[in-house]
Amino acid sequence: MKQTLTEKILSAGAGRKVKAGEVVFVNIDWALVQDGTGPLTMDVIEELGKGVTNPDRQCIFLDHASPSSKSELSDNHIKLRKASEKYSMRLFEVGEGVCHQLMAEDCVVPGDVVVGADSHTCMAGAFGAFASGYGSTDIAVAMATGKIWLKVPSAIKIVLEGELTYPTLAKDLILYLIGELGASGATYKALEFTGPGVETLSMESRLTICNMAIEAGAKNGIMPADDKVADYILEHRGVSFDFERLRADDGAEYEREIKINLSELKPQVAAPHSVDNVTTVEELQKEKIKIDQVFIGTCTGGRLEDLRDAEKITRGKTKNPNVRFIITPASKKIFLEAMREGLLDSFMETGAMIGTPGCGPCVGIQGGILGQGEACLSTANRNFKGRMGCGESFIYLASPATAAAAALSGEISSP
Partner 1 sequence: MSNKGIEISGRVFKYGDNVDTDQIIPARYLDTSDPEELAKHAMEGVDEDFAANVSSGDIIIAGKNFGCGSSREHAPLSIKGAGVGAVIAETFARIFVRNAINIGLPIIELSGFEAKTGDEVVVELRRGKIKNLTSGKEGTFTHFPEFLSEIIQAGGLMESVKKDLSEF
Check if the beta carbon of residue 247 is closer than 8 Å to that of residue 375. no
Q: What residues from 1 to 20 belong to the interface with partner 1 (CB under 8 A)?
A: none
Would strands 324-328 and 293-297 be described as parallel, antiparallel, or unpaired? parallel
| Residues β-bridged to residue 260 | 160
Q: Quote the least distance from Cβ 63 to partner 1, whole Å.
A: 13
Q: What's the count of helices (H) and strands (E) in the chain, helices before strands?
A: 14, 18
Site for partner 1 contains 54 (CB under 8 A): no
- How far is the C-alpha of 153 from the C-alpha of 187, rounded, in Å? 9
Q: Quote the least distance from Cβ 65 to partner 1, whole Å.
A: 9
Please report, for residues 7, 64, 176, 203, the alpha-carbon distance to residue 402 in angstroms, rounded to integers and kept in the order given.
37, 25, 14, 21
Selected binder of partner 1 within 20, 80, 117, 212 (CB under 8 A): 117
Q: Which is nearer to partner 1, 217 or 297 (CB)?
A: 217
Selected binder of partner 1 within 10, 59, 60, 73 (CB under 8 A): 73
Q: Quote the least distance from Cβ 318 to partner 1, whole Å.
A: 33
Q: What residues from 131 to 190 belong to the interface with partner 1 (CB under 8 A)?
A: 133-138, 140-141, 144-147, 183-184, 187-188
Residue 393: name the closest of 368, 415, 359, 410 by CA.
Answer: 368
Q: Quote the least distance from Cβ 144 to partner 1, whole Å.
A: 8
Q: Which is nearer to partner 1, 39 or 351 (CB)?
A: 39
Binding segment toward partner 1, per CB under 8 A, in 65-73, 106-114, 171-179, 337-345: 65-73
Selected binder of partner 1 within 389, 400, 410, 415 (CB under 8 A): 389
Site for partner 1 contains 217 (CB under 8 A): yes
Q: Quote the least distance from Cβ 138 to partner 1, whole Å.
A: 6
How many binding residues for partner 1 (CB under 8 A)?
50
Q: Which is nearer to partner 1, 145 or 414 (CB)?
A: 145
- How far is the C-alpha of 220 from the C-alpha of 200, rounded, in Å? 21
- How far is the C-alpha of 380 from the C-alpha of 382, rounded, in Å? 6
- How far is the C-alpha of 163 from the C-alpha of 195, rounded, in Å? 11
Please report, for residues 8, 122, 125, 183, the alpha-carbon distance to residue 191 in angstroms, rounded to integers and kept in the order given.
14, 10, 10, 13
- 318, exposed or middle or buried, with CB in 10 Å at 0-12, 13-18, 19+? exposed
Chain residues binding partner 1 by CB under 8 A are 25, 36-37, 39-40, 43-44, 47-48, 50, 64, 70, 72-73, 75-76, 116-119, 121, 133-138, 140-141, 144-147, 183-184, 187-188, 217, 219, 274, 363-365, 382, 384-387, 389, 391
